[in-house]
Amino acid sequence: MSNIAEEINKRRTFAIISHPDAGKTTLTEKFLLYGGAINLAGSVKGKATARHAVSDWMEIEKERGISVTSSVLQFNYDGYCINILDTPGHQDFSEDTYRTLMAADSAVMVIDASKGVEAQTRKLFKVCGMRGIPIFTFINKLDRDANDTFELLDEIEKELGIATCPVNWPIGSGKRFKGVYDRHENHVLTFSDTEKGTKEGETTVISMDDEDTLMEVLGDEALGTLRDEIELLDGASVEFDLDEVRRGKLTPVFFGSALTNFGVEIFLQNFLKMATTPLPRISQGESVEPVENDFSAFVFKIQANMNKAHRDRIAFMRICSGKFDATKEVRHVQGGKNMRLSQPQQIMADERKILSEAYAGDIIGVFDPGIFSIGDTVCMPKDNICYEGIPTFAPEHFARVRQMDTMKRKQFIKGVNQIAQEGAIQIFQEFNTGMEEIIVGVVGVLQFDVLKYRLENEYNVEIKLEPLPYEHIRWIENKDEVDLAKLTGTSDMKKIKDLKGNPLLLFINQWSIGMTLDRNKGLVLSEFGRG
C-alpha cells in the first residue's frame, strides 16, 4: 500500500485557464520543456510550416490559433508527476472549461500583464470560482509594456472576488524589465533575454542588502521605485496563508515572461510546493479518499475522432482513488456492467502511450464504444461508488440544423449525436415531430462553427444553420403532472424535447417565463437538465 500512497502523493493535477492570447500555450510548453517532455518549445502562431503548439491538435484549432477542446499532458519534474489539463481560452467554451475543472485539484490562471482581466475572460474565471478550487496566478508578458502592477492585482480581486498575495514583484516591464523581487527571500532575480524556446538563461541573485550591485544592475530610478513599491506592498497586501490558498480564497501571484522563459521555473517550483496532492471526491454524500480506497474514476470529457485513421472515440477519466490496473475488471456504474477498460492510454496531446497502470490524480483515456456519458463513474465491482454528476450549462443560442444532402441522413444523425455526447452542443427536437427537425443549443456561438466544421470534415455532411431568436431554456421538472398539449404559453414560447424525450420550453424574452408560470398553476420549471 505504501507504494500506492507514494505514487498518489507525487501527483499534482491542475487545469490551466486564460483569455485567448495571454500566453497559456507557451507557458504549458515551457513546463514540458523543464520536465524533459519536449526538447524544443514550438511556436503557437508563426509560419504555416512551423510546428503547432503541442496541446492544440484539432484542425480547426490549428487554423484559428485558439483551443476549442481541452487536452491532457503528463510529465515528470523534480520527483513530481504532473498532469496538466489545458482548457479552451474562449468564453464560448466555458462549459468545457468547467468540466475540465471538475477533474482538476487546482487551477493556474494566466493573465496578460498589458491587458489585465479581459471582459471575455470574466466568465471563465467565474467558472473557476464556482468550483472553489485553489487558483494560482501567473501574470505573463512582462517582456512587453505592462499595466500598473497594483492595478492588475486590484482588478483580479474585484473580478474574481479573491484576495491576492504577490509572491514576487516585477521590476519594470517591456524594454525596462529588469527581473523580479522575491518577497520571501528578500532578493532580486535579474532577467537577461534568452534564446526563445531554450531553458532560462543564467539568473543572477542579488540580495536587497547589496546596495552597490543593485544600483549597478537596476539603476537609481528602478531601484528607488522598487523600494517604494515594496514598502507599499508590505503595508497593503494580505499575508500569505496556505490554508486560504487551498480553500480558494487567496491567490498567490507570480510575474514573468513565458516567451523569454523568465520566471517560469520559479513559478513551477513554488506551485508544486503549494498545490495539494489529489483531493478526495464526494460519492453519495460520502468522501472517497484517494489513498485509502481502491480504484475509482469518473468521465469528464468525451472526444470523438481524435485519430482520423481510426475514427475512434475516447472517454477521458480522472482517477479519484487507488491504483488502476489494466488487467482487472471494473464496473461501469451507470451502465450496470462489469468490463475491462479498453486500450487505456495516457495522452500527450495527439500522441498516445498504452498504460498498464495509473494512480489517483492521473487522467487516462479509454476507448469508448458509445457506452460512456459525461459524469459516469467506474469503480471496482465490489464497491458502491457513484460520483456526483457534472451539471449542464443552459444553452444561450439556438439554431435549426438542416442537412444539404438528404441522402446522408444516417451520417448526419450519427455525427450530431456523437458531438452532442461530447457535451459540445445540446440537441433537441420539435415537440410533435421525430428527428426530422433538429434544433441545436450552444453556450457560445463559436460552437456552431465547430459543429459545421466537424460535420463536414469528420462525417462528410454539409449543413445549413438557421439561427433562432430564443435565448432562454427551461426544463419541466414535474413533467408527469403536466399535459404539454394543454400548456398555455406566451407567443414567444416554443415547446421542444431533448433526446431522452424530456419536454422543454424555449423563450425569447425572460419575462415570458414568469408569465407562463402564472398561467399554468403547479408548473415547475428548472434551468438545469436532470438527464
- Block residue for cell numbers 479552451: 88
> Of residues 433 and 465, which shows the higher confidence score?
465
- At residue 418, does pLDDT exceed 50? yes
Query: DSSP assignment of 118-148, as one string?
Result: -GGGHHHHHHHHHHT--EEEEEE-TTS----
93 and 48 part of one domain: yes
What's residue 68's pLDDT? 40
| CA 172 and chain centroid, separation | 31
Beta bridge partners of 281: 288
Shared-domain flag, residues 297 and 322: yes
Helices (H), 195-246: 211-218, 220-236, 242-246
Q: Where is pLDDT greater, at 389 or 248?
A: 248
pLDDT at position 318, please?
Answer: 95
Ranking 184-193, 212-221, 397-406 by mean pLDDT, the lowest is 184-193
Query: What is residue 161's predicted lDDT score, i.e. its pLDDT?
Result: 84
**Residue 227, domain member (yes or no):** no
Output the average pLDDT for the chain: 83
Q: What is the pLDDT of residue 483?
A: 79
With contact defined as beta carbons under 8 Å apart, do 290 and 321 qualify? Answer: yes
Residue 286: partners with Cβ closer than 8 Å, 6 or more residues away: none
**For position 64, what pLDDT does the model report?**
52
> What is the per-residue pLDDT for 87?
75
Q: Which of 221, 248, 274 is the last residue of a domain?
A: 274
Q: Of the ranges 43-57, 366-380, 393-407, which one carries the lowest mean pLDDT score?
A: 43-57
Domain of residue 432, CATH code: 3.30.70.3280
One domain for residues 420 and 338: no
CA angle 93, 316, 59 (to 5 degrees): 50
Helix (H) or strand (E) holding 264, with range, is helix 264-274
pLDDT score at 49: 34
247 and 321 assigned to the same domain:
no
In terms of domains, do 449 and 511 share one?
Answer: yes
Q: Are 161 and 135 in contact (CB under 8 A)?
A: no
> What is the pLDDT at residue 531?
46
Structural domain includes residue 389:
no
Is the same domain home to 405 and 439? yes
- Identify the pLDDT of residue 312: 73
Alpha carbon dihedral 321, 327, 328, 332, in 10-degree steps, equals 80
Q: How many residues would you count in the chain?
A: 531
End-to-end alpha-carbon separation of the chain, Å? 38
Indicate if the pLDDT at residue 434 is higher than 70.
Answer: no
**Residue 333: its pLDDT value, please?**
95
Q: Same structural domain for residues 521 and 403? A: yes
Tell me the CATH number at 161: 3.40.50.300
Q: How confident is the model over 518-528, as pLDDT tens digits?
A: 999 889 888 76
Q: Which one of 274, 291, 322 terminates a domain?
A: 274
Domain match, 408 and 334 both: no
Flag whether 47 is in a domain: yes
The reply to whether 490 and 352 lie within a common domain is no
Q: Is residue 296 predicted with pLDDT exceeding 50?
A: yes
Which contacts of 179-185 are long-range, i.e. CB under 8 A and separated by 24 or more positions? 179/203, 179/262, 180/255, 180/256, 180/263, 180/266, 181/208, 181/226, 181/230, 182/266, 183/230, 183/233, 184/240
Let me know if residue 229 belongs to a domain: no
The listed range with the strongest mean pLDDT (30-39, 215-224, 434-443) is 215-224
* Residue 307: per-residue pLDDT: 56
Q: For residue 295, what are the contacts with CB-CB under 8 A and spacing of at least 6? A: 319, 321, 322, 323, 324, 325, 328, 330, 379, 380
- Asked if residue 191 is part of any domain, the answer here is no
Is 232 domain-assigned?
A: no
Count the domains in the chain.
Answer: 3
220-234, 253-267, 491-505: least confidently modelled range: 491-505
Q: How many angstroms separate the Cα of 14 from the Cα of each of 106, 311, 361, 470?
A: 5, 29, 9, 36
- Listed residues 379, 414, 429: the one ending a domain: 379
Q: Which residues contact 136 (CB under 8 A, 6 or more apart)?
A: 14, 106, 107, 108, 109, 245, 251, 252, 254, 267, 271, 274, 275
* DSSP 8-class letter at 287: E
Average of per-residue pLDDT across 468-486:
86
Mean pLDDT throughout 493-504? 85
Average pLDDT over residues 271-276: 94
Cα separation of 329 and 500, whole Å? Answer: 30
Where is 21: in which H helix or E strand? Answer: none
Whole-number Å distance between alpha carbons of 312 and 319: 22
Q: Among 66, 79, 452, 330, which residue's Cα sits nearest to residue 315?
A: 330
Grid coordinates of 159: 473580478
Residue 288's CATH number? 2.40.30.10
The reply to whether 517 falls in a domain is yes
β pairing state of 426-430 and 493-498? antiparallel
Averaged over 316-342, what is the pLDDT?
A: 94
Domain range for 360: 281-379
Q: If you average pLDDT over residues 335-344, what whole number do you get?
A: 90
Burial 340-376 (b: 16+ CB within 10 A, else e): ebeebbbbbbeeeeebeebbbbbbbbbebeeebbbbb
Confidence of residue 188 (pLDDT cuts 50, 70, 90): very high
d(CA 111, CA 18): 6
In a domain, 190, yes or no: no
In this structure, the answer to whether residues 496 and 462 fall within a common structural domain is: yes
Q: What is the per-residue pLDDT across 125-184, written as a single tens digit (0 to 9) for each? A: 777 777 788 999 999 999 999 999 999 999 999 887 889 999 999 998 888 888 999 999
> Do residues 142 and 40 share a domain?
yes
Q: How confident is the model at residue 92 (pLDDT cuts 50, 70, 90)?
A: low
Q: What percent of the chain has pLDDT over 70?
A: 85
Answer whether residue 302 shows pLDDT above 90.
Answer: no
Which of 29-38, 130-139, 380-389, 401-410 is predicted least confidently?
Answer: 29-38
Give the model's confidence band at 481: pLDDT under 50 very low, under 70 low, under 90 confident, else very high.
confident
Higher pLDDT pick, 519 / 68: 519
User: Of the given ranges (6-20, 284-298, 490-504), which has the lowest mean pLDDT?
Assistant: 490-504
User: Are the C-beta atoms of 176 and 222 separated by less than 8 Å?
Assistant: yes
Give the count of beta carbons closer than 10 Å to the beta carbon of residue 517: 14
Does one domain contain both 468 and 513? yes
Q: CA 277 to CA 10: how far, in whole Å?
A: 7
Q: Give me the mean pLDDT over the 221-239 stretch.
A: 89
Orientation angle between helical segments 94-102 and 122-131, nearest 10 degrees: 20
Contact 73, 32 (CB under 8 A): yes
